[in-house]
């Protein structure tokens, strides 16, 4: 193997993965364009004083580039992430690669997966998602059960030391061929935490053969036809939504909205009771049910406002947070038992992510 050619191939792959072009590396690495180009095409003698800033510009440790058989095996699509957000995701990816050998092996569920590869119609995708929810819940309706049974490692994260202007992601699903780690924002509200756990559960199960986007395209998530870029987030959102608010519950709310007596506070409270969901999640489920009824179409904003006005005293439950806290403690205990396997730099990064 020609080492320079292999280094160039890996650098080009990482550039493409993170949505960067040669001029980005020139600006960020502060090296001449002909030097960058020579490295990318395997034509340059390798000098660490040049390779290190190139790797830094790619938000990738130089040792990962040089030592791993596959430097970036994690299924993440960086796409249109900002520079600050890209650093946040890249740091989480680094931590996953440091600790992956100490994580449980992922085990696929025994139920058939949804068949969505050739579907772009939103209504048909929702039907496939709901069918998959039914199959999972027939076996067990506990979110915690599926995380445990499938061997998905889970931890809360506060993403300490973020770059300026970086956003804290609600959740990240980090997977390779054998392991999965879900990181969730430990500072988000209880209702959002449960939604995030379900959202990332979909990615962990259904998106193992595709790169999961680190960004999302919110404007497309309400389209009737979904692009391939938008489909992973759309399906993950609908999975979390309809797991929390079953389709039958949403249909019941729609029927009551159509009556002259209108929706009542009791109707909303009963729909949310014991779900761990929020009025906004209920509104989305109702909107998705109603928007395919031409004679009863309403805007999402009007549905949301009506439901939220009747749920002013609503509060979520802490079951999801308790589960995250438990799994975070378990993972930290596992990693503490392997402390000698990590250098000081790696250990500091782990502590800044898993909290």
pLDDT, tens digit, for every residue of 227-255? 888 888 899 999 999 999 999 999 999 98
Domain stops at, among 36, 53, 72: 72
Claim to verify: residue 47 and residue 138 sit in the same structural domain: no
Residue 71, pLDDT above cutoff 60: no
Q: Are residue 115 and residue 226 in the same domain, yes or no?
A: yes
Across the chain, mean pLDDT equals: 88
pTM: 0.87
Domain shared by 328 and 198, yes or no: yes
* Judgement on whether residues 59 and 176 belong to the same structural domain of the protein: no
138/112 Cα distance (integer angstroms): 12
Stated as kind and residue range, the H or E segment containing 39 is helix 33-40
Residue 285 near residue 247, CB atoms below 8 Å? yes
pLDDT at residue 296 in the model: 66
How many angstroms separate the CA atoms of 28 and 152, rounded? Answer: 36
Domain shared by 324 and 263, yes or no: yes
The pair of three-digit structure tokens given for residue 304, joined into one six-digit string = 């949301």
Task: Tell me the pLDDT tens digit for each residue of 89-105.
Answer: 888 888 998 899 999 99
Asked whether residue 88 falls in the same domain as residue 63, the answer is no
Given a cut of 90, is residue 65 above it in pLDDT?
no
- Rounded to 5 degrees, what are φ and ψ at 82? -70, 165
State whether 57 and 28 are in the same domain.
Answer: yes
Is residue 48 located within the same domain as residue 100? no
Q: What is the domain-level CATH number for residue 15?
A: 1.10.260.40
Are 125 and 274 contained in the same domain? yes
Do 162 and 31 reside in the same domain of the chain? no
Could you tell me the strand order of the sheet in which 171-175 lies? 153-157, 180-185, 171-175
Whether pLDDT at 317 is above 90: no
The last residue of one of the domains, among 37, 72, 107, is 72
The band of 72, judged by pLDDT with boundaries at 50, 70 and 90, is low
> Considering its fold, how many domains does the chain have in total?
2
Q: Give the closest residue to 129 by CA, choosing from 208, 187, 225, 203.
A: 203
Residues 67 and 84 both lie in one domain: no
**Which is it for strands 180-185 and 171-175: parallel, antiparallel or unpaired?**
antiparallel
264 pLDDT above the threshold of 60: yes
pLDDT, one tens digit per residue, over 134-150 is: 999 999 999 999 999 99
- For residues 288 and 337, membership in a common domain is answered with yes
Output Rg (C-alpha) for the chain, integer angstroms.
Answer: 23
Please tell me the least confidently modeled range out of 54-58, 123-127, 140-144: 54-58
Would you say residue 77 has pLDDT above 80? no
Residue that terminates a domain, selected from 72, 102, 128:
72
Range 104-109 average pLDDT: 95
**Structural domain span for residue 167:** 78-355
Residue 287 has a pLDDT of 92
């Amino acid at each position: 193997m020609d080492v320079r050619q292999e280094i160039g191939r890996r650098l080009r792959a990482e550039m493409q993965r993170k949505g960067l072009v040669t001029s980005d590396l020139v600006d960020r690495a502060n090296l001449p364009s002909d030097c960058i180009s020579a490295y990318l095409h395997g034509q340059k003698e390798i000098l660490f004083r040049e390779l290190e800033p190139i790797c830094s510009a790619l938000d990738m440790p130089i040792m990962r580039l040089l030592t791993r058989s596959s430097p970036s095996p994690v299924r993440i699509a960086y796409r249109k992430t900002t520079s600050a957000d890209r650093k946040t995701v890249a740091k989480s990816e680094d931590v996953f690669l440091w600790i992956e050998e100490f994580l449980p092996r992922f085990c696929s569920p025994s139920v058939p997966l949804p068949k969505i590869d050739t579907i772009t119609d939103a209504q048909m995708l929702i039907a496939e998602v709901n069918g998959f929810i039914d199959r999972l819940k027939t076996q067990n309706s506990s979110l915690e059960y599926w995380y445990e049974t499938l061997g998905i490692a889970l931890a809360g994260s506060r993403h300490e030391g973020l770059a300026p202007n970086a956003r804290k992601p609600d959740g990240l699903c980090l997977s390779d061929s054998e392991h999965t780690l879900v990181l969730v924002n430990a500072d988000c509200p209880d209702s959002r935490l449960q939604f995030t756990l379900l959202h990332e559960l979909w990615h962990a199960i259904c998106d193992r053969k595709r790169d999961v986007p680190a960004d999302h395209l919110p404007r497309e998530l309400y389209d009737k036809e979904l692009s391939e870029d938008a489909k992973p987030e759309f399906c993950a959102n609908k999975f979390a939504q309809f797991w929390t608010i079953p389709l039958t519950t949403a249909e019941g709310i729609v029927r009551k909205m159509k009556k002259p007596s209108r929706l009542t506070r009791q109707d909303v409270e009963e729909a949310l009771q014991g779900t761990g969901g929020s009025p906004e999640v209920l509104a989305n489920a109702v909107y998705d049910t109603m928007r395919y009824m031409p004679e009863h179409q309403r805007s999402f904003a009007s549905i949301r406002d009506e439901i939220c006005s009747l749920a002013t005293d609503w509060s979520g439950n802490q079951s999801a947070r308790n589960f995250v806290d438990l799994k975070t403690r378990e993972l930290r205990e596992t990693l503490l038992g392997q402390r000698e396997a990590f250098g000081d730099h790696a250990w500091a990064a782990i502590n800044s992510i898993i909290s």
